[in-house]
Chain A
Amino acid sequence: MSHVIEMLNIRKEFPGIVANDDITLQVEQGEIHAILGENGAGKSTLMSILFGLYHADRGQIKVKGKEVHIHDPNDANDLGIGMVHQHFQLVHNFTVTENIILGKEGGFLLDRRSASKKIKALSEKYGLNIDPDMVIEDITVGMQQRVEILKMLYRDADILIFDEPTAVLTPQEIDDLMEIMRNLVSEGKSVILITHKLNEIKAVADRCTIIRRGKFIGVVDVKTTSASKMASMMVGRPVNFKVEKKLAQVGRVILDLHDLNVMSNKKVLGVKDFSLSVKAGEIVGIAGVDGNGQTELVEAITGLRPVESGTITLDGNDITHADIRRRNEIGIGHIPEDRQKRGLVMASSLFNNVAIKEYYHSPFSKHGILDADYLREYAQKVTEQFDVRSGEGIFSLAGKLSGGNQQKLIVGREVVADPELLIAVQPTRGLDVGAIEYIHSQLVAHRDKGHAVLLVSFELDEIFNLSDRIAVMNSGELIDVVKTSETNEEEVGLMMAGVRQKDGEQ
């Protein structure tokens, strides 16, 4: 057994948090080795240490059996380690070739032609299917990722690190990427795959190192280990992939939309003659491909976007033109699509963020003076109840939290306020299994308290898992509303493409 990479007993501490606590990673020559862990478990820190972006406080790194000290990414490159970052580092108006040779231009004169030839050869050898003369801004995201891969291959990297590579890809592109990874290892390269998606690991990896909360949990052979076993190792307890829920106890109408028309940013109707009602005690899921009017619909209901015509009624109150605070007071909770732009003030502390919708009234403040003690107590309660983990507790800045913890903070804020209507838009995007399970259970619990939940998601799994009824949207129109128990993914998928069912109900 020959290890190309050995990271032994790595420890890395940040103020208030131990990101890596005695972690060991051993990657064999010619394997795809996955690193599995929740958001904030320490995967990225570990890889940043290997790539020279951070320095370990303790521990040893060996590359091909020799102990090394990696001070910066250049050292890592010299050792044959290459990394495909989550955010691509490409110059958009340069060609593929120009991007790849950037920093490796060679002598005084630029020899594009031989570089281009070498890139073409590499592309063919590994099945990357890239034309070296294309300009980056003209190619798809999936192709841009392959350019990043070519960049590493051009620099003779033989250990390739992929940091959450599938987050930006379509399902077809994901399949292609898996194929490329297989090609890479069959040509003798070694691949490290950082991810929290179990199905990807099952599909492509040979072995998997699991870390949880900065600690090494174990290494498993992927073929002989079940997905649920890996999930429970990652989260530290058994995980339910299916959401447990009772039959809906439906009550009165909470949200009623009548012939709603809303403009999009492009000054055309983004939502057209949309009528829908959501009742107490049910979850209505809005299914649709991204960009079919979901954003406009949610912004109209929450008051962020004006309504052209039609009415919005919330629990008997006409709120079509009410301001946002009034809607919040009547009872709208909103888990926004973009948690960093809308959901949180990144440069502000957790306790301010938790109070941002309610700071102006008692008991948060009296006569315009904030009650600092109450604010802290309240934030303490919310962060404890929703298990928001941070370095400095409620005094941490929101921007310092991991994505999952930011989302838990928002969900906590919205759920604790106990609104009649909770609107959740893409509530689990980018989160790991543990956090997804938790947030799903919170949404169901909110329903079971007799409140209405409107869920918008681009993931059909999530819609089917949670919704009692499914409303399908296509180019701003409501195609149909169906009961989840009486439909299937195929039927909804067709409706998402705009095909109307003749015998659909309602």
Chain B
Amino acid sequence: MKHVKIREKQSNAFLVAVSAVVLGLVAGAILMASIGSNPFTGFWFLFRGGLMNIERVGNTLATATTLMLVGLSVAFAFKTGLFNIGASGQMLIGGLCATLVAHKVFLPRPLYLIVLILAALLGGALWGVIPGFLKAKFNVHEVVATIMMNWIAYWSIYYFIPAYLKGPSLETESASIAVTQSLRTPWLTKLFNGSYMNLGFFIAIISVIVIKLILDKTTLGFSLKAVGSNRHCAEYAGIKVNRNVVISMMIAGGLAGLAGLSFYTGYSRNMQIGVMPAQGFDGIAVALLGASSPLGVLFSSLFFGILQSGKGFMNAMTSVPPEIADTIIAVIIYFTATSVLFKRFWDAVLKRQGDKAKKKEESAQAEVKKEGE
């Protein structure tokens, strides 16, 4: 009985997310129709683009990997009441650290992977912990601090890469790392028919599980959530609010650093300068649609992964511009943000069904009585 109640609430969040997605797709369909395209063929090619063969599935998963880790980063900070807009910068620094390791460190594969992962984790965590510290010590708002950190990362990389990691031909990107130094592995590449699929996907899945366990089962998660939902009460209870803010930003930064790892040494194999990774902001959408829960982030990143990786194919096969996919994502976010409306709607629907069932039961009972007479 008690467990049923809790499950009910979760299914509510799920229902809200699904409603937002459906309405987002409907809005996309209307847009397609309004520019004279057939929405059905548009969606057909959009989803085919993401899923039609094993190679494309691999690419979708590789795209989703980065989104999943960034989404997890934003969601985790959000649980502690912090808004991490700095995932882009944390991704860049995590990616930079990983790229450095990939160029300079040569070790047996398992050991090498551990060093690589740690480098990205620490780079991202450093970029997260600085705004966390500023917030805790000087009450600098984390939104301002993380945005600043984004640009510090952006410009640092702008000059660092040409100076130290310059590619052989192009000034605007780093030298490619060897495939053997990346997250790609022969068996995965073969399995997914030469797609971008890489070990980052497993890192993301493990991260989802670890973060879920931290939030649900550990004292660390307990204190982080207490600080996030009422810092006054947390302080009163003896929980160190500032320390938790720093820890939360550190973990969030580390997750975004892993996203950088998956993107720069898995999905691609070099870093371009002068590009702020858009995934850092798409991750906010992933976290919102996933209701800031790790499992929610897992599913919403897979969905956004399909849209992102399918939009090019849709554009190639039809006259629908790829921006439609971004528009659909934007509309979904609007509907997620106004999820209160859906909640009311579903509550009303569920209640009406309940009432109907009750009435049916009553009238059935009445009939039985009549028959008895």
- Cβ of B219 < 8 Å from any Cβ of A? yes
Shortest distance from the beta carbon of B95 to any chain A beta carbon, whole Å: 31
Report the bound CA distance from A326 to B238 in whole Å: 8
Q: Quick check: A343 and B218 within 8 Å, CB to CB?
A: no
Collect the chain A residues with CB atoms within 8 Å of residue B236's CB: 302, 304, 324, 334, 336, 342-343
Report the bound CA distance from A304 to B222 in whole Å: 21
Collect the chain B residues with CB atoms within 8 Å of residue A357's CB: 237-238
20 more CB-based (< 8 A) A-B contacts, given A344-B233, A360-B222, A370-B219: A302-B236, A324-B236, A325-B239, A327-B238, A334-B236, A336-B236, A342-B232, A342-B233, A345-B230, A347-B230, A348-B225, A348-B226, A348-B229, A368-B218, A369-B217, A370-B217, A370-B218, A372-B217, A395-B2, A395-B5
Q: Quick check: A359 and B6 within 8 Å, CB to CB?
A: no
B8's nearest neighbour on chain A, judged by CB, is: A15
**Given known contacts A341-B233, A343-B233, is B219 in contact with A392 (CB within 8 Å)?**
no
Report the bound CA distance from A393 to B2 in whole Å: 8
- Cβ of B220 < 8 Å from any Cβ of A? yes
Q: Quick check: A328 and B238 within 8 Å, CB to CB?
A: yes
Q: Quick check: A345 and B222 within 8 Å, CB to CB?
A: no
B3's nearest neighbour on chain A, judged by CB, is: A395
Q: Quick check: A360 and B219 within 8 Å, CB to CB?
A: yes
- Cβ of B66 < 8 Å from any Cβ of A? no
12 A-B residue contacts at CB 8 Å? A324-B237, A325-B239, A328-B237, A342-B232, A345-B233, A346-B230, A348-B225, A352-B222, A356-B239, A368-B219, A372-B217, A395-B2
A313-367 at interface with B (beta carbon < 8 Å): 323-328, 334, 336, 341-348, 352, 355-357, 359-360, 365
The listed residue (B2, B218, B226, B238) touching A323 by CB distance below 8 A is: B238
Shortest distance from the beta carbon of A189 to any chain B beta carbon, whole Å: 37
Shortest distance from the beta carbon of B237 to any chain A beta carbon, whole Å: 4
A355's nearest neighbour on chain B, judged by CB, is: B222
Collect the chain A residues with CB atoms within 8 Å of residue B220's CB: 368
B199-225 at interface with A (beta carbon < 8 Å): 217-220, 222-223, 225
B351's nearest neighbour on chain A, judged by CB, is: A15
Q: 3 smallest A-B Cβ distances: which pairs?
A: A325-B238, A324-B238, A356-B237
A342's nearest neighbour on chain B, judged by CB, is: B236
Collect the chain B residues with CB atoms within 8 Å of residue A304's CB: 235-236
Q: Quick check: B222 and A370 within 8 Å, CB to CB?
A: yes
What is the count of residue pairs linking A and B with beta-carbon distances less than 8 angstroms? 77
Q: Quick check: B229 and A345 within 8 Å, CB to CB?
A: yes
Collect the chain B residues with CB atoms within 8 Å of residue A342's CB: 232-233, 236
Q: Quick check: B229 and A347 within 8 Å, CB to CB?
A: yes
B131-172 at interface with A (beta carbon < 8 Å): none
B213's nearest neighbour on chain A, judged by CB, is: A369
Chain B contributes a number of interface residues (CB within 8 A of A) equal to 22
Contact with A along B1-17 (1 / 0, CB 8 A): 01001100000000000
B229-253 at interface with A (beta carbon < 8 Å): 229-230, 232-240
Report the bound CA distance from A348 to B229 in whole Å: 8
Collect the chain A residues with CB atoms within 8 Å of residue B239's CB: 325, 356
The listed residue (A325, A345, A365, A370) touching B226 by CB distance below 8 A is: A345
Q: Quick check: A359 and B219 within 8 Å, CB to CB?
A: yes
Collect the chain B residues with CB atoms within 8 Å of residue A345's CB: 226, 229-230, 233-234
Shortest distance from the beta carbon of A181 to any chain B beta carbon, whole Å: 38
Shortest distance from the beta carbon of A16 to any chain B beta carbon, whole Å: 8
Shortest distance from the beta carbon of A105 to any chain B beta carbon, whole Å: 30
Q: Quick check: B5 and A392 within 8 Å, CB to CB?
A: yes
Report the bound CA distance from A347 to B227 in whole Å: 12
Contact with B along A461-480 (1 / 0, CB 8 A): 00000000000000000000
Collect the chain B residues with CB atoms within 8 Å of residue A327's CB: 238
A221-265 at interface with B (beta carbon < 8 Å): none
Collect the chain A residues with CB atoms within 8 Å of residue B235's CB: 304, 324
A376's nearest neighbour on chain B, judged by CB, is: B2
Report the bound CA distance from A246 to B225 in whole Å: 44
Shortest distance from the beta carbon of A303 to any chain B beta carbon, whole Å: 8
Q: Quick check: A356 and B5 within 8 Å, CB to CB?
A: no
Shortest distance from the beta carbon of A421 to any chain B beta carbon, whole Å: 15
B238's nearest neighbour on chain A, judged by CB, is: A325
Q: Quick check: A395 and B222 within 8 Å, CB to CB?
A: no
Collect the chain B residues with CB atoms within 8 Å of residue A356's CB: 226, 233-234, 237, 239
Collect the chain A residues with CB atoms within 8 Å of residue B222's CB: 352, 355, 359-360, 370
A372's nearest neighbour on chain B, judged by CB, is: B217
B1-42 at interface with A (beta carbon < 8 Å): 2, 5-6
Collect the chain A residues with CB atoms within 8 Å of residue B234's CB: 345, 356
Shortest distance from the beta carbon of B7 to any chain A beta carbon, whole Å: 11
Q: Quick check: A323 and B240 within 8 Å, CB to CB?
A: yes
A361's nearest neighbour on chain B, judged by CB, is: B219
Collect the chain B residues with CB atoms within 8 Å of residue A393's CB: 2
The listed residue (A328, A341, A348, A365) touching B219 by CB distance below 8 A is: A365
Report the bound CA distance from A414 to B219 in whole Å: 20
Report the bound CA distance from A227 to B220 in whole Å: 51
Shortest distance from the beta carbon of B26 to any chain A beta carbon, whole Å: 31
Report the bound CA distance from A341 to B230 in whole Å: 8
Report the bound CA distance from A494 to B235 in whole Å: 37
Report the bound CA distance from A344 to B5 in whole Å: 22
Report the bound CA distance from A336 to B232 in whole Å: 11
Report the bound CA distance from A148 to B2 in whole Å: 43
Report the bound CA distance from A359 to B220 in whole Å: 10
Q: Quick check: A392 and B2 within 8 Å, CB to CB?
A: yes
Shortest distance from the beta carbon of B302 to any chain A beta carbon, whole Å: 28
Collect the chain B residues with CB atoms within 8 Å of residue A326's CB: 238
Report the bound CA distance from A370 to B218 in whole Å: 5
Q: Which of A323, A325, A368 has the most CB of B within 10 A?
A: A368
B233's nearest neighbour on chain A, judged by CB, is: A345
Collect the chain A residues with CB atoms within 8 Å of residue B233's CB: 341-345, 356
Collect the chain B residues with CB atoms within 8 Å of residue A334's CB: 236
Contact with B along A292-317 (1 / 0, CB 8 A): 00000000001110000000000000
B2's nearest neighbour on chain A, judged by CB, is: A395
Report the bound CA distance from A121 to B272 in whole Å: 77
Contact with A along B321-357 (1 / 0, CB 8 A): 0000000000000000000000000000000000000
Report the bound CA distance from A98 to B102 in whole Å: 71
Shortest distance from the beta carbon of B139 to any chain A beta carbon, whole Å: 16
Shortest distance from the beta carbon of B228 to any chain A beta carbon, whole Å: 9
Report the bound CA distance from A342 to B241 in whole Å: 13
Shortest distance from the beta carbon of A260 to any chain B beta carbon, whole Å: 20
Shortest distance from the beta carbon of B166 to any chain A beta carbon, whole Å: 45
Collect the chain B residues with CB atoms within 8 Å of residue A365's CB: 218-219
Shortest distance from the beta carbon of A468 to any chain B beta carbon, whole Å: 27
Report the bound CA distance from A314 to B220 in whole Å: 29
Report the bound CA distance from A302 to B218 in whole Å: 26
Q: Which of B2, B230, B232 has the most CB of A within 10 A?
A: B230
Q: Quick check: A369 and B218 within 8 Å, CB to CB?
A: yes
Report the bound CA distance from A365 to B219 in whole Å: 7
Report the bound CA distance from A323 to B237 in whole Å: 11
Collect the chain B residues with CB atoms within 8 Å of residue A348's CB: 225-226, 229-230
B227's nearest neighbour on chain A, judged by CB, is: A345
